């Protein structure tokens, strides 16, 4: 299999999954899983390392590149800090420390760099996350047009959340409106006006979830922040991993009117657009309503139950969307280049 990389290979969809299988998963031996941790082949938001005295270290690494780097609701600095923190949170970890690497283009305005780094630090301070160190590089302007930030976030969890625990009977909960970040970046990239249209990135830390996780840990079987590829990417990955069928109620998925309008204008389904301040949870069906009540009380007033997990059988791995008119359609995994340079 030859060929060259396309932007779709980094978009979080089918092409990226196939590339990672060829490049990484087929070549690297799993080790953490045999030690009781969550390792590479779990393909989760990070990894966990069991500690001798109990509990786990949770580690997540990511890289952030967004165009434009400043947008309504935030900038690349805030995005990098929140995104990395959230990847640890949805694995059940409390973030405590971070490393960062900044690669900037020659000719970049120093005041802009200061603004971005101040945004990054502001999130870390508000969340009590220590910056341990990092690296800084400058690339020729012919090689890079703006800035890339990579992060490694470290946290601790008594018992981590692993997506493979999702099971039939579980209910699916989203903690808030979906697609805000993706729709905002998409509109800006197409030169559309978003100021005053009620459209802004939802980027924020998800650390309030930890209080709910602490109370309901044995009932929360999966958690993820739906970034690249949106809700569709998360649910397809879960269904494939657990050999289940996931059914989603289209009428229950919270999408702002402005997000829906911009998505329809540009020919996209909001369920494929990224969120940077929402999470998707799989919880035991018998306590889902109670978990929902606690989520709303902890800072997620727009949380909704949007679907359920069923036995797979011969349809294992499928995600079905029950449409608002009562029919069903397959919610395919994302493919192609939906929104380039989004996070």
* Cβ–Cβ under 8 Å, residues 76 and 149: yes
Q: Where are the domains of the chain?
A: 31-157, 163-330
* Cβ–Cβ under 8 Å, residues 174 and 87: no
CA atoms of 184 and 179, how far apart (whole Å)? 8
Question: What would be the CATH architecture of the domain defined by 163-330?
Answer: Alpha-Beta Complex (3.90)
| DSSP structure class, residue 334 | P
* Cβ–Cβ under 8 Å, residues 234 and 13: no
Question: Which H/E stretch holds residue 138?
Answer: strand 130-139
| Phi, psi angle pair for 5, to nearest 5° | -65, 145
* Cβ–Cβ under 8 Å, residues 36 and 162: no
Residue 139's region, left for phi above 0, alpha for psi from -120 to 50, else beta, is beta
pLDDT in tens, the chain (343 residues): 568 878 777 767 778 778 778 877 777 776 666 667 887 777 777 889 999 989 999 999 999 999 999 999 999 999 999 999 999 999 999 999 999 999 999 999 999 999 999 999 999 999 999 999 999 999 998 889 999 999 999 999 999 999 889 999 999 999 999 999 999 999 999 888 887 777 999 999 999 999 999 999 999 999 999 998 999 999 999 999 999 999 999 999 999 999 999 999 888 899 999 999 999 999 999 999 999 999 999 999 999 999 999 999 899 999 999 988 878 899 998 876 666 667 7
Q: Which of 80, 21, 92, 27 is nearest to 282 (CA)?
A: 92
* Cβ–Cβ under 8 Å, residues 94 and 128: no
CA atoms of 288 and 297, how far apart (whole Å)? 14
User: pLDDT tens digits, residue range 155-178?
Assistant: 999 999 998 899 999 999 999 999
State which CATH number among 3.30.1330.10, 1.10.10.10, 3.30.2320.30, 3.40.50.300 fits the domain covering 31-157. Answer: 3.30.1330.10
Say whether pTM exceeds 0.85. Answer: yes
């Amino acid at each position: 299999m030859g060929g060259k990389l396309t932007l779709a290979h980094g978009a979080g969809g089918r092409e990226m999954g196939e590339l990672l299988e060829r490049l990484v998963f087929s070549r690297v031996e799993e080790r953490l899983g045999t030690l009781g941790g969550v390792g590479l082949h779990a393909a989760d938001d990070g990894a966990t390392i069991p500690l001798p005295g109990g509990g786990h270290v949770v580690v997540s690494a990511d890289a952030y590149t967004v165009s434009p780097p400043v947008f309504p609701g935030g900038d690349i600095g805030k995005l990098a800090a929140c995104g990395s923190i959230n990847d640890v949170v949805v694995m059940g970890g409390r973030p405590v420390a971070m490393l960062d690497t900044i690669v900037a283009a020659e000719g970049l305005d120093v005041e802009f760099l200061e603004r971005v780094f101040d945004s990054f630090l502001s999130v870390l301070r508000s969340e009590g996350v220590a910056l341990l160190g990092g690296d800084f590089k400058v690339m020729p302007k012919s090689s890079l047009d703006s800035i890339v930030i990579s992060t490694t976030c470290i946290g601790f969890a008594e018992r981590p959340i692993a997506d493979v625990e999702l099971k039939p009977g579980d209910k699916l909960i989203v903690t808030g409106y979906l697609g805000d970040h993706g729709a905002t970046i998409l509109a800006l990239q197409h030169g559309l006006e978003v100021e005053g249209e009620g459209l802004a990135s939802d980027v924020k830390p998800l650390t309030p979830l930890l209080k709910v996780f602490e109370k309901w840990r044995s009932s929360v079987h999966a958690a993820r922040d739906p970034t690249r590829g949106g809700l569709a990417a998360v649910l397809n990955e879960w269904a494939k991993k657990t050999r289940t069928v996931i059914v989603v109620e289209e009428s229950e998925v919270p999408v702002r009117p402005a997000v829906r309008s911009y998505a329809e204008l540009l020919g996209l389904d909001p369920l494929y657009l990224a969120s940077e301040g929402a999470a998707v949870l799989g919880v035991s069906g018998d306590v889902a309503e109670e978990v929902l009540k606690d989520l709303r009380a902890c800072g997620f007033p727009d949380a909704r139950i949007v679907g359920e997990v069923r036995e797979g059988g011969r349809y294992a791995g499928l995600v079905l969307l029950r449409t608002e008119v009562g029919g069903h359609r397959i919610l395919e995994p994302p493919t192609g280049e939906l929104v380039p340079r989004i996070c």
